[in-house]
Chains A and B, each alone.
Chain A
Amino acid sequence: MSTPVKILMVEDDHGHAKLIEKNIRRANISNEIVHFDAGQPALDYLFSAEVLANGPLLILLDLNLPDMQGTDILAEVKRDERLKRAPVVVLTTTDDKTEIQRCYDLGCNVYITKPVDYESFAAAIRQLGLFLSVMQAPHIE
C-alpha cells in the first residue's frame, strides 16, 4: 500500500457526520476523513488538482443535501473518466426502493440506510469501517 485511502464524506448534518466519524474511528480506521456539508464544495474538491495528486479516494455520500441531490454528485463522479473507479458508499436515511435502484443504476457501489436505532447505526458504521479496512481502492490517475 503506497498512499492510504482518503475518505471523502458529503453529509449536511454535522451530528450525523460526527457520529459516522466516531464509529469509523471506533473500528480502528485511521484514514484521513474530509467532510463537506454541501454538494457544490464537494464537487469542486473532487475535480480539483489536489485530488489528482492525492491518490485513492472513497466517497461516503448522503442523498439529501441542501444545494443538490446526492445522486447528482454520484452521476458526476461516475461520468468522469478518472473518478468513476472511486468506490461510492451511499449512506442515507432513505430506504425507498426506487431511490436505491436509482443509485445502483448510477453506479453506486454500496447503499446503506442509516438506522434510526443507534445500536444498529453504530454497528452498521463499524461494519462499514471493517469493510473499509480490508477493501482496495483504485488509484485516481
Chain B
Amino acid sequence: MAKLDTRRATVQSRRPMRDAIRDVLNQLNRFARERTLGRSIVLALAVALGALLVANLSTFVLVQRTAQFNETVDAQWQARRSGRVLLLNLKDAETAHRGYLLTGQSDFLLSYRAAIAAQDTLLQQFRTRIGTDSEGEGDAEIVTRLSRDKILEMDQTLDLYRQGRALEAIAAVRSGEGQRLMRELDAALGDVDQRIGGEVAEATARSEGSAAFTSVVNTLAGLLILVLAGIVFLLVRRYLDEVQAKQAELDRVNAGLEETIRNRTAALTRANEEVQRFAYIVSHDLRSPLVNVMGYTAELDQAGRTLEGALSNAEVERAVDPAVVTAIREDIPEAIGFIRASTEKMDRLINAILKLSREGRRNLVPEMLDVTKMVRRIAESVSHQLDQADAEIAIGDLPEMENDRLSIEQIMGNLIDNAVKYLDPKRPGRIEVRGRDVPGGWVEYEVADNGRGISERDHERIFELFRRSGRQDRPGEGLGLAFVRNSVRRLGGEITVESTLGEGSTFRLKFPKRLILDEVGETL
C-alpha cells in the first residue's frame, strides 16, 4: 500500500510538467492545422522576415566581397607600382653608372651606390606585394634574377673602369648586354602588369556579377515583402471586417436582450398591477352584494320585530300556532344573528384585502428615520396595555435608516402590538427592541418577547393572509403579519421569525440602509 502511494506521488509530481508540455504541443498542433486567420498572418510575416533575412545576408556577403576586392585591387596596384619603382631605381643606377663612366666624377658614383643600396629593399617590397602564389613567386624570381644580373654587369664594368681599363669597360657597355638585361626586365614587368591587369578585370567582373546578384536578390525580397505586406493588409482588413460584423451582431443581440428584459419587466409590472387591481376590484365587487345581504337582513330583522310586536298582544299570541311563535321569537332572530355575524366578518376580510392592495399601491417616500424615537413613540402608545399585562419594554439604540416613514411605523407598530397581545400571563412580560448596522449597507432590527411563542410548524403560516397560530383567544383576523411581510418585501427587506412555543418569539427585520426607488416608484 505504502509503495503504491509513493509511486503514485512520483507520477503525480511529474504529471503537471508533462501535461503543460502536452498542452503547449496540442496548442501548436491545433494552430498549425487549423486554417485560421491568425495562422495565415503569422505565416506571411514569417516569410517576409525570412525574405528580409536573405536580402540582408546577400547584401552583407556583397559588402564583404567588395571590401575583399578593393583590397586585392589595391594590393595589385601596389605591386605594379613597386615593380615600376624598382625599374626606375635601376634605371637611375644605370644612368649614374653611365655618367661615371663618361666623366669619372665621384658624385655619379655616389648616386650609383645609393641606387644599388636601395634596390635590395625595393626588390624585397616587390616580392612581398606581388604575393606568395606561384605566379607571383615566379615573377618575383625573374625580376630579382634580372635585377641582380644587371647589377652584376654594371659592377663588373665599374670594376674594369676603376682598374684603369676604361676602354674595356666602355666596350662592355657597348656590347649591349646591360641594355638587353634592362629590356628583359622591362618586358618581365610588362608581363606582370598584364597578368595583374587581367586578374583585376576578372575580379571586377566577378564583383559586378555578385553585385548584380545581390541587387536581384534584394529586389526579389523587396517584392516578396511588398506582396506579403499586401496579403497581411488584406488579411487584417478581413479580420477587422469580421470583428466588426461580430461586434454588430453582438450589439444586436445585446439590444435584443435589453428589449427582452424591458418586455419582461413590463410584463412583470403589468402582472403585479393586475394582481393589485384584481384584489381591489374583487373587494369592491364583493362589497356590493354584501350591502344587499346586510341591508335585507336588517329589513328582515325589522319585519321580524314588527311581527314580534304583533305577538306582544296576548290575544294574537293565543290565536297563532306555537310553532309560528317559536319561529318569530327564536328561529328568525337566531338566523338573522348568524347572517349578521358572518357578513360582518366577511366585510372585515374584504376590508383587509382592500387594505393590503391599497398599501401595495401607495407611493413610497424615503426619508431619514430616527427609528429609536419612532419605536419609543409606538411603545408609549401601548403603555396602557403593557401596564395591564405587567410587562415592560426595553428599546435599545436603534440604527437610523432611509426609508418610508409610514410603512416602517406600521411594521414596527404591528410587531410590537403582537408582542404585547401574545404575552404569557404566567410570567412578567418583557419585550426588547434591538438593532444594529450590518456590513454591506443593511440594517437589522429585532423585536423579541418572552410571550407564548409560536409552534415550529406555524413559522411560515403566520405570515399568510387570514392565518393565525396557537389558541384563538385574542381578537384578530390574521392580517397583521401578512401585512408586515408584504410591506417589508415592498421595501426591499426581509422578515424572519425565531420562536419556541412557550418561551417567546423574535422577529428579525432586515432593510437596506437606504431605500432606492426606480422611476415608477418601485423598490430597486
Contact = CB atoms under 8 A, between A and B. Distances in A.
A93 B296 contact: no
A64 B288 contact: yes
Contact of B291 (A22, A96, A116): A116
A19 B295 contact: yes
A19 B287 contact: no
A15 B292 contact: yes
B15 interface: no
13 contacts: A13-B289, A15-B296, A16-B292, A19-B292, A19-B296, A19-B299, A93-B284, A116-B343, A118-B294, A118-B295, A118-B298, A119-B298, A121-B291
A114 interface: yes
A116 B287 contact: yes
Q: For B285, B294, B299, B358, which residue has the most chain A Cβ atoms within 10 angstroms?
A: B294
A121 B291 CA distance: 8
Interface residues of B, number: 19
Main secondary structure of the interface of B (DSSP, over half): helix
B288 A93 contact: yes
Contact of B290 (A64, A94, A96, A116): A116
A122 B288 CA distance: 15
A114 B284 CA distance: 11
Interface bin, chain A? 10 to 19
A117 B295 CA distance: 8
B298 A114 contact: no
A64 B280 CA distance: 13
Given A15-B296, A119-B298, A122-B298, A64 B291 contact: no
A103 to B, nearest CB: 15
Of residues B290, B292, B358, which shows the largest number of chain A Cβ atoms within 10 Å of its Cβ? B292
B347 A16 contact: no
A102 to B, nearest CB: 15
Contacts of A19: 291-292, 295-296, 299
Interface in B292-336: 292, 294-299
Minimum-distance CB pairs A-B, first 9: A15-B292, A118-B298, A19-B295, A118-B294, A93-B287, A118-B295, A116-B347, A93-B288, A93-B284
B511 to A, nearest CB: 27
Interface in A5-51: 13, 15-16, 19, 22
B285 to A, nearest CB: 7
Contact of B288 (A13, A96, A117, A119): A13
